[in-house]
Chain A
């Protein structure tokens, strides 16, 4: 029996990988249900390795290259690419973004209109990252928890983990040396007037702004990055920036309803890359930073391989049984 503390993104993905290998798995989580206390609730759910490559280490692209394939087995993954645009006065940012990323093509205004009719005539050029995808984080956490239960895994909610666990996936609560919180703030809108099909990134000199469409005309807008451990509700300044971005994208967002404001703490190490660390005989998977859905599958695979060095042998299991 493998015991995991924390049923957030890292815990759930690793549990799945372990169950695949034939292990028995129990997860312990202080929350009330799938992802209820996980910072992944506030994620964008973008599977966008190439766009992230603009400011992240090359390793993020490598680790994340097969994420959408992995998630497609669990939940609905929308493989419609990412569209990157810039306001007229920040056009130089688009050139810079193109120079520092790969896997994109330059679109004309007509091609943008074809992809996203709602943006017709609003942007002269854009970058299209065809291979990228997105998912709904809360739904993905729910679906993954369900798959784990269906596979015979146990998730115990509202229960502190026992003293001795095999894998710790509790994010900031793990208190690992070198782990720091990076506060992020997000907004969810509902805007029936605008139909977006894919993730949009609006290049902005200060905040990497993105809009991710969700079901029923909902749109998630994220996200600030502040070196802070504060968990207070989003500030007016941050929300103002996020909402202005939506408004810059399309004035019809002015009539959108504000459905939710949220803030969470992303656990991150100094290089913003995730780590598998062994401390006092416990394996830790932590530091997914702002790349949770992108990097968790591959990190989970590696964690599972450490916890179960030999892939489960069906015959051995039968003999034992």
Chain B
């Protein structure tokens, strides 16, 4: 343990964040302003998610941190180590064993359960931002449920690409009320937002906003009647574990156009391989 207060933030700050979290849970999808603190990491590296995680952690929690589904990338490793040092909590890479999961850009493949908390790192919480730059105006639009503009964006997608080309940060409507940016998760993960037994918390540090989905929320991805929402993924199986239903990363393997597709969720892929599943490029020894 170090000389820091438990989980780095002082107790008053955590109290302030917990109040924002409670308000966010009470009004699903509504962006609650909070007094975001300077964290010992740059904006864009998950300062919002880290503050939310710090406010949620108890000494008995088991923490998992993922970045694009992977437990072993720089961002995930740094944040995990940060909380090991400042909170002394147990950490894990297993989705099923974690009580708090901080994530960047993915929802784990393994179904979440009641009692788990999923914390998202959010770069830009405002789904209407790129359509309407004025914050005063976007607040008014949320207040009055003026969400026609969101469909103008989807219309432009279809007009230009023949289909809804938005593939991540795909806007959703929560409980028939607020339109929400689910953070830059692939739209493949959007169906998992709905009816999820876990608590989902979203923290945007630079933008000083927190929003949340309570368990079993009604979350609908926006679409047109004749161009319905499709949760797309690469049309392949995982080359390491053979999974056909998980979200895949495309990895270039040489400069002659060879490529492989692997699960972006490393825990999911590893556990399948441990169970004996094999993909196209698995070595027999693996």
Asked if A and B are interacting partners, one says no
Q: Please list the residues of chain A having a beta carbon within 8 angstroms of any beta carbon in chain B.
A: none
